Amino acid sequence: MTIEALSVVIPARNESALISRCLHSVHRAVDQLRSEHAPSPPTVRIVVVLDSCSDDTRDLVSCFGSVEIIEIDAGSVGVARSVGVASALARMGVASEAAWIANTDADSAVPPQWLVEQVRLANAGADVVVGTVSPVMTDLTKDLADAWHRVRRHRSPAGHVHGANLGFRASSYLLAGGFSSEGLHEDVGLVARFRAVFAAVCSSLDIDVETSGRKSNRVAGGYGAYLHDGLLRSAALYEDLTG
């Protein structure tokens, strides 16, 4: 079914340094979607879920028009995503088969075609779109940046699940049971449940999202741990040895 309504859900925890960059990129993607689907684009909402924020993230988000702000104190990205999606679904006003949820993170910047491509794939039959991410290279040391590029050259990133670049049809989300309350890998678990209910999962290499490569993580064991705690170096060494 053609997508008639779309929401972007963004969890945030003390992201005052990066949230404005994220929201500027999302607004560009919304503008591109509206331009390419004129004169009858899908309706679009942006939902930011502030989870246990103690900085001025809220004030910065408030500077952007037409952004719904939800404040919780869960300390869990799984809960934050779930709350954001629930609020989005309650306000879409269309059948769940015609509603789409695009997810990113507050420390990330999406490309201009991000929503256009997700909607294109959804209208072609996809229930889930799993996109790729790349770190901000200036956040990495030279040896880590070199290691990342070696791994990317040898291993396709397609199929790796990142909450910073994930979209899904509302009906499939409800059928799969939604995000869990886990503080880590809630995105991976959800995609596994999508597959279990035979949702049409599509991987895209065309809408890479740039995400923070910082060492200090909001989520212990998250992407920053992969980059900085030895996993990336191990992967690069494996590629060097095997070839």
- CA torsion, points 44, 13, 215, 21, in degrees to nearest 10? 40
CB 131 within 8 A of CB 209: yes
pLDDT of residue 156: 77
DSSP state, residue 5: E
Quick one: CATH architecture of 5-137+157-211? Alpha-Beta Complex (3.90)
> Is residue 83 predicted with pLDDT exceeding 70?
yes
Q: Can you tell me the mean pLDDT for 141-166?
A: 85
CB 234 within 8 A of CB 226: no
Place 194 in a pLDDT band, splitting at 50, 70 and 90: very high
Place 167 in a pLDDT band, splitting at 50, 70 and 90: very high
Q: Can you tell me the mean pLDDT for 105-126?
A: 98
> Is residue 41 predicted with pLDDT exceeding 80?
yes
pLDDT of residue 158: 77
pLDDT of residue 236: 57
**What are the CA-CA distances from residue 7 to residues 11, 194, 228 (Å)?**
13, 19, 32
pLDDT tens for 204-232 read: 999 999 999 877 766 666 776 667 766 65
**What are the CA-CA distances from residue 108 to residues 18, 19, 99, 117, 214 (Å)?**
8, 8, 23, 18, 11
Mean pLDDT of the chain: 91
Name which of 188, 212, 201 is nearest 107 in CA terms. Answer: 212
**What are the CA-CA distances from residue 17 to residues 107, 108, 177, 212, 240 (Å)?**
8, 11, 33, 11, 36
> Is residue 109 predicted with pLDDT exceeding 90?
yes
Is 0.95 surpassed by the pTM of this model? no
**DSSP of 15-37, one letter per residue?**
-TTTHHHHHHHHHHHHHHHHHHT
